[in-house]
Structure 1
Amino acid sequence: MTNSYSAALLILLGLFLLGGVISFAKQGLSKMIITALGVCSALALASGVMRWK
């Protein structure tokens, strides 16, 4: 496992936001909202993976 709880938290946040992207896409909401959530999800996942040791 990891000693870095912030990395695990960032990965969980990224996965949560990714679920929101999928949900919003199924509901047919604005593409701008979906894009913003997707970018935030990607950033959170990337930073979580980079912090993982």
Structure 2
Amino acid sequence: MELSYANVLLFGLAVFLLMGVISFIRQGLKIAALIVLGLAALATAGGVMWS
């Protein structure tokens, strides 16, 4: 897989969203954590398929 700026940007976004998931779980907001986890999965998939 060739890494471009877009790949790195999308993977960085996924990591940022995963930190949000951890924060929401600690606050007890499980539905919000699931929504943000879905967005993180989409960002990761976009990073993989961008090439």
**TM-score, normalising length: structure 1:** 0.79
Percent pairwise identity: 48
Matched, 1:36 2:35: yes
Matching residue's letter, 2:40: S
Matching residue's letter, 1:12: G
Matched, 1:13 2:24: no
Matching residue's letter, 2:7: A
Deviant stretches of 4+, over 3 Å:
none
Which sections of structure 2, spanning at least 5 residues, go unmatched?
Answer: none
Q: 2:21 and 2:43 mapped to 1: Cα distance?
A: 14
How many Å apart are 1:17 and its aligned residue? 0.1
How many Å apart are 1:38 and its aligned residue? 0.4
Matching residue's letter, 1:37: V
Which sections of structure 1, spanning at least 5 residues, go unmatched?
Answer: none
Q: 1:21 and 1:7 mapped to 2: Cα distance?
A: 21
Q: 2:26 and 2:31 mapped to 1: Cα distance?
A: 14
Q: 1:24 and 1:36 mapped to 2: Cα distance?
A: 10
Counterpart of 2:48 in structure 1 is 49
